[in-house]
């Protein structure tokens, strides 16, 4: 954990890009809670709570669960995060434009809007490959071939359009998530440390979106051969 101003991060990434893994890395590094809506929902399903029973079919089919359910969860989790220092890394929200606006509103009400929207970028073939590999290991009910395709489609139709919105708000960082998880994690932490050094210094000034996805070489990769 590093000391300094607390971080508030939300992640926008397709299924299989590594939100869960990198969310945990970010949470540990900055000493902030990792709020993963997918995990919270799966926990309800496993405990067979009324909420779990209401969302199970959505999860199994790879469809989004209704906004109100997720947003109630987010509100509660952010209120808890407020009590433990105010930082957070949100993993799995927002997934729609409506959720993006609502999450921003909740953040405003609690005085804890996100400092950084982190986008993990990877192509569909790689994502499918990873999700199928995970299916063999973990047996998650939504990691079947058909459901994986549906989740990717939902991502492209509903979630990806959010990216432009955060770009306009100037809190956007894109990282190339095609590389091994430890490299991606190092790049994310380096980017977030840089962001942290100025987000709290000039919070009212418009910030520019940052695209690091072409900068692998700066983080220890071999440069691409020049033609």
Residues of this chain that interact with ligand ADP (CB under 6 A) are 15-16, 19, 37-38, 41, 58-59, 62-65, 70, 92-93, 95, 99, 142, 151
Q: What is the DSSP letter of 120?
A: E
- Is residue 164 within 8 A of residue 110, CB to CB? The reply is no
Q: What is the DSSP letter of 8?
A: E
Residue closer to ligand ADP by CB (options 123, 221) is 123
Residue closer to ligand ADP by CB (options 91, 216) is 91
Pairing of strands 172-176, 34-36: unpaired
Residue closer to ligand ADP by CB (options 115, 142) is 142
C-alpha distance from residue 142 to each of 92, 134, 139, 149 (Å): 15, 11, 8, 10
The residue with tokens 């942290």 is: 196
CB of 195 to ligand ADP, least distance (A): 23
CB of 4 to ligand ADP, least distance (A): 28
Residue closer to ligand ADP by CB (options 99, 174) is 99
Q: Which of 83, 82, 141, 67 is nearest to 112 (CA)?
A: 82
Residue closer to ligand ADP by CB (options 58, 169) is 58
Residue closer to ligand ADP by CB (options 9, 199) is 9
CB of 205 to ligand ADP, least distance (A): 30
CB of 58 to ligand ADP, least distance (A): 5
Rounded Cα distance, 157 and 144, in Å = 20
CB of 154 to ligand ADP, least distance (A): 7
Helix (H, G, I), strand (E, B) or coil at 142: coil
| Dihedral (Cα; 144, 180, 119, 117), 10-degree rounding | 120
* Residue nearest ligand ADP, CB atom distance: 38
Beta-ladder partners of 2? none
CB of 25 to ligand ADP, least distance (A): 16
Beta-ladder partners of 8? 88
């Amino acid at each position: 954990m590093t000391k300094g101003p607390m971080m508030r991060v939300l992640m926008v990434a397709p299924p299989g890009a590594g939100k869960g893994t990198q969310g945990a890395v970010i949470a540990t590094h900055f000493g902030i809670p990792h709020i993963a809506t997918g995990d919270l929902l799966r926990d309800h399903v496993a405990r067979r709570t009324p909420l779990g029973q209401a969302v199970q079919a959505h999860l199994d089919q790879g469809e989004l669960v209704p906004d109100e359910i997720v947003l109630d969860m987010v509100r509660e989790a952010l209120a808890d995060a407020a009590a433990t220092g105010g930082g957070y890394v949100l993993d799995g929200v927002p997934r729609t434009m409506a959720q993006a606006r609502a999450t921003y509103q909740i953040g405003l009400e609690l005085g804890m809007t996100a400092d950084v929207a982190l986008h993990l970028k990877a192509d569909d073939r790689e994502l499918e490959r990873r999700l199928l590999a995970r299916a063999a290991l973990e047996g998650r009910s939504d990691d079947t071939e058909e459901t994986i395709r549906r989740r990717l489609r939902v991502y492209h139709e509903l979630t990806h359009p959010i990216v432009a919105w955060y770009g306009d708000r100037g809190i956007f960082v894109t990282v190339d998530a095609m590389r091994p998880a430890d490299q991606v994690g190092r790049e994310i932490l380096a980017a977030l440390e840089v962001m942290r050094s100025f987000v709290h210094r000039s919070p009212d000034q418009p910030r520019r979106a940052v695209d690091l996805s072409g900068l692998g070489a700066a983080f220890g990769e071999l440069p691409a051969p020049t033609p």
